[in-house]
Amino acid sequence: MQFFSSETIFSENHPITHPILDKAGISLVIKREDQIHSEVSGNKFRKLKYNLIEAKKQGFTTILTFGGAYSNHIAATAAAGKMVGLQTIGIIRGDELAKDLEKTLSENDTLKFASSSGMHFKFITREAYRDKTSTAFIEQLRDEFGEFYVIPEGGTNALAIKGCEEILTDTDVGYDVICCAVGTGGTIAGIVNSTHEHQKVLGFPALKGDFLFEEIRKYTVKTNWDLVQEYHFGGYGKINQEGVAFINTFKDQQHIALDPVYTGKMIFGIFDMAQNGVFPKNTRILAVHTGGLQGIDGMNKKLKKKRLPLITI
Ligand SMILES: *Cc1c(COP(=O)(O)O)cnc(C)c1O
């Protein structure tokens, strides 16, 4: 499979210089997973890789997955499916989006992109979406679409974890703390699995809730990790002016774009923790930039409606 043929894709490690880091006596390096592919960026590439290989191996011609209207996973699945020659079906939360599809697509860059990559959508109500993994619903989908390979919402399953185990490489052994953003917990589980004993992984959840500890434990037996729950900015898909200002300043100073849903919150958290003296002197931190930049546009539309400052592109 051409797209995933190279077994080892390395992302560049980019050192950050900043007075706050100097003052804390720590170093911060960003692993540019956002740069591994222009359309299937960051951890979504890692999570899809072995799933698409498996779908092909089992002879499927279609993959089906789930997501919200701004989902990075939906955009990535559509693009990756197109590249490897698999049809894609996206079960999207929000039946109101189906009422005027043309208008929906003209207003939503994520869905527009997925659609132009050939993804077929089925929009369902929020209630139906909550029940999307039930056998009855999957059966109904098979009646409607025929056979397909299912990838869960957010892309997390055992094969996704296997792909995320390829994020860290042997050359990353020198870092003391590895940081990553957390949504479903699949990415952090894969990262934890490939750490060395002396390393600690800190996950920064993009949403509220203690359930993530349990989710992560499903995919890793190691215990050298923890979640930092102070930087979700009110919940999934939420951000405030301070967060937006941080993302914009960071981009000005470091020339690295961060997304408002995941990586912006994580880097904000790392700087805040550094300022509060949480990290011992000489701590070497590696923060994984998991991508997600396609989501900036959707967030800007929300910010614009509220007449708040936008994220600079
Ligand atoms: C999906 C996503 C995450 C969360 O990954 P999980 O494996 O669901 O925890 C983090 N960062 C970005 C940019 C993402 O798109």
Give pLDDT tens digits for 74-83.
Answer: 999 999 999 9
| Ligand 1 center from residue 153 Cα (angstroms) | 11
Tell whether the model's pLDDT for residue 301 goes beyond 80: yes
Instruction: Please tell me the least confidently modeled range out of 1-15, 25-39, 229-243.
Output: 1-15
Average pLDDT in the 209-214 region? 94
Q: Which amino acid is at 179?
A: C
Burial classification of residue 65, based on how many CB atoms lie within 10 Å of its CB (0-12 exposed, 13-18 middle, 19 or more buried): buried
Banded model confidence at residue 3, pLDDT cuts 50, 70, 90:
low
Q: What are phi and psi of 57, to 5 degrees?
A: -60, -40
| Ligand 1 center from residue 134 Cα (angstroms) | 24
Cα separation values, 148 from 63, 108, 116, 284, Å: 5, 26, 20, 44
Residue to mutate (ligand 1; options 44, 212, 219, 262; most atoms within 8 A of CB): 262
| Ligand 1 center from residue 53 Cα (angstroms) | 21
**Tokens representing residue 234 in the block:** 């009110």
* Whole-prediction pTM: 0.96
Residue to mutate (ligand 1; options 34, 72, 214; most atoms within 8 A of CB): 72
Cβ atoms of 290 and 182 within 8 Å: the answer is: no
pLDDT in tens, 60-103: 999 999 999 999 999 999 999 999 999 999 999 999 999 999 99
Is ligand 1 within 6 A of the CB of residue 183?
yes
Quick one: pLDDT at residue 104?
97
Tell whether the model's pLDDT for residue 6 goes beyond 80: no
Name which residue sits closest to atom 15 of ligand 1, judged by CA: 292
Please give, one letter per residue, the 3-state secondary structure of 179-230: EEEECCCHHHHHHHHCCCCCCEEEEEECCCCCHHHHHHHCCCCCCCEEECCC
Which ligand 1 atom sits closest to the C-alpha of 185?
Answer: 9
| Ligand 1 center from residue 275 Cα (angstroms) | 25
- What percent of the chain is predicted at pLDDT more than 90? 95
Average pLDDT in the 273-301 region? 97
Q: Which amino acid is at 239?
A: I
| Ligand 1 center from residue 282 Cα (angstroms) | 28
| Ligand 1 center from residue 43 Cα (angstroms) | 6
Sign of CA dihedral 150, 151, 157, 159: positive
Banded model confidence at residue 276, pLDDT cuts 50, 70, 90:
very high
**Tokens representing residue 13 in the block:** 């490690």
Tell whether the model's pLDDT for residue 196 goes beyond 90: yes
Cβ atoms of 58 and 69 within 8 Å: the answer is: no
Sign of CA dihedral 230, 231, 237, 241: positive
Is ligand 1 within 6 A of the CB of residue 157?
no
Which ligand 1 atom sits closest to the C-alpha of 156?
Answer: 7
Is ligand 1 within 6 A of the CB of residue 27?
no
Is ligand 1 within 6 A of the CB of residue 263?
yes
Cα separation values, 183 from 32, 72, 211, 266, 271, Å: 18, 11, 11, 12, 20
Is ligand 1 within 6 A of the CB of residue 184?
yes
Is ligand 1 within 6 A of the CB of residue 42?
yes
CA distance 71 to 58: 27
